[in-house]
Chain A
């Protein structure tokens, strides 16, 4: 690969319920990363309220940017470009970050780089803490599994910023299925961590929930497994008031992880990928991480837990490659709430 020009990027992320700013060098070395979470505010609603989120971003954005600069011991003059999440996400939330980024780019006369949030999740595997040992850089061709509350898709990357979508979910995203099953097992929000916690103590072999392989395609479906859990729970309730929540959670989790893992492995083989990358909120799931780490056929990149959830470091990484490869945005950049990766 040709050597890319060095640059220090300040990145802003406000696509959902986290107000985040990070500064990073050359797409990899993280100098600072600040995330103001609105989790507590939204927890009482059991989900993110868009109006509430955007109002909160307005309050948090300035202090978060100032804190990121202070933590990196830098001033705005030390920054080469401003990257910002342009979509997908909540329109009212995205606008706050985009306007902040535009204002800064205009005032400082620095380039502005709009970044896709999903692309950010993928690039979180490029990030490491400045001063730490430099981890190996993902190598192309790369099979990328993107798995979160809103997305489940397989992309083949033959180069930077190039995404060939092989398949995606036909119904529920994997993270959504986790939350729905948590609901019916009466586990608290957010459902992913709740299921994981119950599953640790459960027997994953007790219930044989269906796996939708959808052979011949690289698509996923998680609606069926959710419905089978529902029928199983209804059935169990008829017989006893004692529901084996841990076994149900473990068996459900195993059904989802099996499909995600095996389909990704098969796709990597089929398309001649050198390595595998797993990204998005559900990549924090321990069973999923364990499945990928237990195999030795492909080197696997999964971000550290701190970078699995929304953050600006990943936007800075993707933003750097966009900037260095010449994809700079115009000042009329607008939010794209439904922007697909490919």
Chain B
């Protein structure tokens, strides 16, 4: 587990930016945090670091946004908040998204067991109006490595 403290939305975005540059197709990131915790800001950084040509917006009405990169790679951004019942796995079709690119899921708890077992879990917590605490938990070997790379990128050594 790694813990970061962010003192501003700008810093939250920059932490996302560092992680975004390390993303590979098939990576799954689960973003947890209340409304206003900075999930969209963090994702804007992620997409920018990844190299998105498209502007990031919160998938409010469209539950999955797709961002593209110059080399044709895709980044999927899903918001599961409004799901009242867990959909059928084939309706959701997470597999085909993960086969084509990296996937960011906001409110993953709404998807229950459908979340891939291996993923990076990121929890954003309100501390004060501007301050946020961010916890990164790795679930699986790929994500242990990813966390190690983030640690390097963020604190050096």
Contact = CB atoms under 8 A, between A and B. Distances in A.
A80 interface: no
A312 B81 CA distance: 30
B123 to A, nearest CB: 18
Interface stretch (A42-50, A138-146, A194-202): A42-50
Given A16-B62, A176-B58, A179-B61, A46 B81 contact: yes
A322 interface: no
Contact of B60 (A44, A49, A179, A227): A179
Interface of A: 16, 44-52, 90-91, 149-150, 172-173, 175-176, 179-180, 183-184, 189-190, 226-227, 230-231, 337-338
Contact of A230 (B35, B61, B84, B92): B35
Interface in B30-86: 35-36, 53-55, 57-64, 66, 79, 81-85
Contact of A51 (B57, B81, B93): B93
Contacts of B129: 231
Contacts of A172: 57-58
Contact of A149 (B36, B61, B81, B85): B61
Given A52-B91, A183-B35, A46 B83 contact: yes
Interface of chain B, main secondary structure: loop
Contact of A47 (B79, B91, B96): B79
Contacts of A91: 66
B62 A50 contact: yes
30 contacts: A16-B62, A45-B63, A46-B63, A46-B81, A46-B82, A46-B84, A47-B61, A47-B62, A47-B63, A47-B82, A49-B63, A49-B64, A49-B91, A49-B92, A50-B63, A91-B66, A149-B60, A172-B58, A176-B57, A176-B60, A183-B35, A183-B81, A183-B82, A184-B35, A226-B36, A227-B36, A230-B35, A230-B36, A337-B66, A338-B55
Given A44-B84, A47-B82, A230-B35, 5 more contacts: A46-B63, A49-B63, A172-B57, A190-B61, A227-B36
The 3 closest A-B pairs by CB, nearest first: A46-B82, A47-B63, A149-B61
A176 B62 CA distance: 11
Contacts of A176: 57-58, 60-61
A52 B96 CA distance: 13
- Chain A CB within 10 Å, residue with most, of B59, B63, B85: B63
Given A44-B84, A173-B57, A50 B35 contact: no
Contacts of A45: 63, 82-83, 87
B64 to A, nearest CB: 5
A173 to B, nearest CB: 7
Nearest to B85: A44
B57 to A, nearest CB: 7
B139 to A, nearest CB: 25
A44 B82 CA distance: 8
B118 to A, nearest CB: 23
Contact of B61 (A150, A184, A231): A150
Contacts of B79: 47
A172 B60 CA distance: 10
Contacts of B55: 338
Given A45-B83, A45-B87, A50 B64 contact: yes
A184 to B, nearest CB: 6
A178 to B, nearest CB: 9
Max chain A CB contacts within 10 Å: which of B36, B84, B93?
B36
Nearest to B53: A338
Contacts of B91: 49, 51-52
Contacts of A180: 35, 58, 60
